[in-house]
Amino acid sequence: MKERDWGGIDGWLVGLAGLLLYATTAGPGIVELFDDSLEFQLVAPTFAIAHPTGYPLYVLLGGLWSRLIFPFGNWAWRMNLFSALAGAGTIALLYLLARRLARGDRWSGLAPALTFAFGPVWWAQTTVAEVYALHNFFVVALLYAAFRLPSQPSTRQVALFCGLAGLSLTHHRTALLLLPGLALYLLWSRPSLRAPQRRWLLWTGAFLLPLLLYLLIPLRAALGGADLEGDYVNSWAGFWRHVLASGYTGFFADNPLAVDHTWADWLGLLVAQCGWPGLILGGGGLVLGLWLPSRRGEWGAVWLVLAANLLFALNYRVADVEVFWLPVFLLLALGAGNGVYWLGRLFHRLGRKHKAAGFWVRWGVLAGLLLLLGSGWGGRGQAVNRSQDWSAHAYAYSLASTDFPPDSRVVGLRGQMTALQFMQASAGLAANAQAVALDNPDERRNFVVESVAAGLPVYLTQELSGIEDTFSFGGEGVLVRVWPRGAASYGPPAHPLEMTFADGQLQLLGYDLAGLDQPGGTGWRVAFHWRPVTPLPQRLKLSLRLLDESGALLLAEDRYPVRQLSPTTAWLPGAVVRDVYDLPSPERAVSLLVIVYDEATVAEVGQLQLPLP
């Protein structure tokens, strides 16, 4: 079979199937608040500066994709689809690479595509804005490009390969792990490249030229761009510190976020990605790859690349170390394709005497193997589907939809503030608010004290100990506004009431109830206007229960008042506290039952039932 026939339209069809799978299961918006995906969903569409190493290629491509090529939907979804596109390209190239190593056999191309495509770790990375889908695209692309070089490659062909290698380093620095193995393969299998020659200068230049993309970082900084942490310093030393990610070298030593793994854990991770059939076929196929002298060079390169990535993954101490195993999973899947190739050869030989029966037996066995590899039978983890995961995006929308007065300050954790900045940049919301990201509680506390003293409107995203007796608080959507002690001011409730709780120590003046039309669906926002008559001796908590027409329970959630920022024991007698809760809106819900109880004893101190409009 001619080399140009290996793949053809098949590769496009495999890639299209992968794109359909990943695009339909991609997150519809912001999926996580506290990881890098939200950063990339903001940084790429604004062509800003990503965290070290800066990922200039990803930012440039992601920005062009989200703002020019695919300007539809919210920015977060667009960037999630960019990962789906990179993932689909990876699967297509993996199919073509496996077919090339198996002399054009389609079964051997489909086997690794199915083994790798449905692995939960990989699938998850193709459905959210992250760098690992594109990185693994480069892993396959470099292997495919190296193996396609003819025995006497031209100067131009080698230069293009070197340019591709350099380009991979403008995306993710772990592409370095591929280069020693590929260099040894090319020097061993292409003798014409070994002798010193002037062309080496051209090839070195082709490798280094793409690295100029890193200059986008200082250029963007000179135009006013910044990284979210504000750590980048636009100087010679600051540039190299950022590009080389010198602050990340400690991840090979002790890291408090790292999780210790045993060999049984690593084996479980491999099984969860490939299933036992994929793991056995993959291991066997990698070994058999060294059997044929004609393919020993290519499979030797695969082994070298796999060993380098495996050694790195075993020693890199981070919480999400599984993403650094992805090249290992990919190459193991490539081995599964070779295992299927050898099984196909075996059944072909066995079926020579009975050609018709042998053909159907071979076809049935190989089809059954592909079914096993694709179905995940034998221990593979659960399928990934983020398509209805709106919770983080809805939170970000609610966060930014607050009616902020001028010069407001919103203080919270880095991920929460990135969500606010995302909504400000992409949807034009919260124009009067300034996001202040302070992960350290002491820094948050000091900032609140100073800002309130300066007369600024201050909002918090979550609890902060040590200020409950100093200020007054009131709910504003998913935020809590901080007021000077006793100075909280709110309009009258939409539904006035005169109810008492806790033996008359707590009054409910009324409530507000409105429907929420937010990304991903509808909900209810209920706000209670409490006024303590005397100091409350117990910490009270609320049980919010949505009921259907018959009184059956549809949903129950227990919550702390004002997001646990101020326990009821710290409420100032006579001062109104506005307490806000956002609830989902299940079908058939007709009323909301609110039970107020003592947190310590769980004794009920009062209840009311509100009709839902």
More confident residue, 75 or 260: 75
> Is the confidence at residue 7, as pLDDT, over 60?
no
Grade residue 256 by pLDDT with cuts at 50, 70 and 90: low
Distance CA 131, CA 315 (A): 20
Q: Which pLDDT belongs to residue 2?
A: 42
Q: What are phi and psi of 459, to 5 degrees?
A: -125, 140
> What's the CA gap between 169 and 374, in Å, rounded?
32
Residue 354's pLDDT is 63
Domain map of the chain by residue range?
7-375, 493-613
Q: Measured between alpha carbons, how far is 301 from 186 in angstroms, rounded to an integer?
A: 9
Is the per-residue pLDDT at 353 higher than 80? Answer: no
Contact 99, 81 (CB under 8 A): no
Q: Which helix (H) or strand (E) holds 436?
A: strand 433-437
Round to whole Å and give the CA distance between 441 and 149.
57
Q: Which residues pair with 559 in a beta bridge?
A: 542
Residue 166 has pLDDT above 80, yes or no: yes
**551-561 confidence digits (pLDDT tens):** 999 999 999 99
In angstroms, the CA 516 to CA 522 distance is 5
For domain 493-613, the question of CATH label 3.90.1280.20 is answered with no
Whether the pLDDT of residue 80 is over 70: the answer is yes
Q: Region 266-295: what's the mean pLDDT?
A: 94
In this prediction, residues 474-490 reach a mean pLDDT of 95
The token duo for 194 is 């070994």
Higher pLDDT, 172 or 365: 172
pLDDT of residue 511: 97
% of the chain surpassing 70 pLDDT: 96
Average pLDDT of the residues in 196-212: 93
Average pLDDT (157-181) is 97
- 307 Cβ partners below 8 Å, 6+ apart? 181
For residue 5, the model assigns a pLDDT of 47
Task: Say if residue 273's pLDDT is above 80.
Answer: yes
What does the radius of gyration of the chain's CA atoms come to, in whole angstroms?
A: 30
In 3D space, the residue among 326, 208, 311, 251 whose CA is nearest the CA of residue 52 turns out to be: 251
- Of the candidates 163, 55, 34, the one whose C-alpha atom is nearest the C-alpha of residue 439 is 34
What is the model's pLDDT at position 1?
37
Closest C-alpha among 63, 55, 32 to residue 414: 32
Q: Could you report the per-residue pLDDT of 531-550, keeping only the tens digit for each?
A: 999 999 999 999 999 999 99
Strand order in the sheet with 506-518: 495-501, 506-518, 521-532, 577-584
Would you give the DSSP letter of residue 226? -
| Residue 246 predicted with pLDDT over 90 | no
Q: 607 and 595 in contact (C-beta within 8 Å)? A: yes
- Whether residue 277 contacts residue 157, with contact meaning beta carbons closer than 8 Å, is answered with no
The overall average pLDDT reported for the chain is 93
| The pair of three-digit structure tokens given for residue 479, joined into one six-digit string | 């935020």
Between 52-61, 361-370, 451-460, 594-603, the lowest mean confidence (pLDDT) is in: 361-370
Over residues 485-492, mean pLDDT: 93
Percent of the chain beyond pLDDT 90? 83
pLDDT of residue 454: 97
Confidence band of 352 (pLDDT split at 50, 70, 90)? low
Within a 13 Å sphere around the CA of 179, how many CA atoms are in the beta-carbon half? 15
